[in-house]
Amino acid sequence: MKNLVITGLGAVTPIGIGVDNYWQGILDMKCGIEKITRFHDEDIPITIAGEVKDFDPKNYMSPKLTKETGTFIQFAYASAKEAIKQSNIDIDSQPDRIGVVMATALSGTSIIADTERAYSVDGKKRVSPRFLPKILGNLGAAQIAISYGIHGPSFTVSTACSSGGDAICMAAMLLNSGEADVMLVVGGESAHCPIIMSTLAQAKALSKNTDPKSACRPFDADRDGFVMGEGGGAIVLETEEHAKKRNAKVLCSLAGYGNNTDAYHVTSPRPDGSGAVECMISALKKAGMKPEDIDYINTHGTSTPVGDPIEVKAIKTLFGWKNHENPMPEELKAKIPPVSSTKGNTGHLMGAGGITEIIACIKAIETGILPPTLNYKTPDPLCDLDFVSEGPRKVKINTAMSNALGFGGQNSSIIVKKYTK
């Protein structure tokens, strides 16, 4: 494997636009979940979500492009713009050696729902010619490539909640295979609409808690489902050799990455967490690390009754405990690093979450501060790890792992570490 490094970050989230505001929101234990404003439907029992506030696409793109793009693309575009600027990459000098991987789980679903309602219910029988460019998942990568003159590999990954992590995996594979020197990995999601909220509510996946600030409570005994979020994230990933040649400021190293599938169920992970375990092992092998080399784990941690304890079981298994019917010995539990979930801050950003959460890992390494798990109040015997529940924690941290686990049994695991020349 080539040495890969990250040189740029970008974020659009419900707790802040821009990486600095996003990270400060985490440190301030800010919750971006509020009453839904994107639609109103009294037949939908879900009334809360994590929405991006004060976002004006015209601050990031031309008025013409604003009219031609869906909100999920706009979030991705704004994140990409921030990451490209920080990386200081000269795209014009090597357009064929720079590529894009776009991550999105639901693409333009909300636009499809709104357009179908206008056509079938409201009687507006003419559909805008901009409809398809607004909804297609790959148009996020395309619009970025068009704007910046990027001519290298272009892919769009749609693997449900694992999309962001899998997009990083794909970008790393392209760099390692020599297809590019630099990859922009970007994610965008904005799918708050009645049909999505209704199906997830019927599936009993969403929290029924009506208090926005306490509804998303990963690993807490009183959790009752996840909360939808929206936003965008981006990283600039390149080979260390390329970054050195252009004297780039390196933020951290991408040490390892893993991807696999449970091949078990369309919504539920394997009860024993074995798929997630093997995915983490794959990432560790690529990094040349052992589990005890990891200083912090940013979990998938969605706040669901079923998913959270399975992820905890997977982490325990990774660190050598397989007798899950009995409590884990304290001396073995002490070897597991602190873990947390940032979804209590933002809600579940779906395809974009795997990228914003690896950004949280990078900022943790940079600042020496672990992000806390918001709303963790009541311990659950099945979720008995160190969840950084007291608030941001100052520690020495050199390595971090981020897990994203999606519908269909999709698993991704990304490891970043402090960069040393």
Catalytic residue (one of 161, 279, 361, 383): 161
Compute the distance between CA of residue 55 and CA of residue 74 in angstroms, rounded to an integer: 10
Compute the distance between CA of residue 37 and CA of residue 8 in angstroms, rounded to an integer: 32
Catalytic site includes residue 242? no
Q: Residues with Cβ < 8 Å from 101, sequence gap 6 or more?
A: 141, 153, 154, 155, 156, 157, 167, 168, 170, 171, 174, 183, 184, 185, 186
Catalytic site includes residue 252? no
Q: Residue 315 carries which DSSP code?
A: H
Compute the distance between CA of residue 293 and CA of residue 105 in angstroms, rounded to an integer: 31
Compute the distance between CA of residue 413 and CA of residue 283 in angstroms, rounded to an integer: 6
What is the SS3 string spanning 202-267?
HCCCECCCCCCCCCCCCCCCCCCCECEECEEEEEEEEEHHHHHHCCCCCCEEEEEEEEEECCCCCC
Catalytic site includes residue 40? no
Compute the distance between CA of residue 171 and CA of residue 182 in angstroms, rounded to an integer: 9
Angle at 344 between CA 395 and CA 359, to 5 degrees: 55
Q: Where are the alpha helices (DSSP H) in 259-407?
A: 274-287, 307-318, 330-333, 343-346, 353-367
Pairing relationship of beta strands 296-298 and 339-340 according to DSSP bridges: parallel
User: How many CB atoms sit inside 10 A of residue 184's CB?
Assistant: 32
Encoded tokens for 92: 């014009």
Catalytic residue (one of 192, 193, 216, 348): 348
Catalytic residue (one of 169, 300, 361, 383): 300
Encoded tokens for 258: 């893993």
Residues facing residue 155 across a β-bridge: 101
Q: What residue type is assigned to position 281 of the chain?
A: I
Q: Residues with Cβ < 8 Å from 51, sequence gap 6 or more?
A: 14, 32, 34, 36, 37, 38, 192, 229, 230
Pairing relationship of beta strands 4-13 and 252-261 according to DSSP bridges: antiparallel
Q: What residue type is assigned to position 416 of the chain?
A: V
Q: Where are the alpha helices (DSSP H) in 43-150?
A: 63-68, 71-87, 109-120, 131-135, 139-148
- The secondary structure element, H or E, covering residue 23 is helix 19-27
Q: Which residues are catalytic?
A: 161, 300, 348
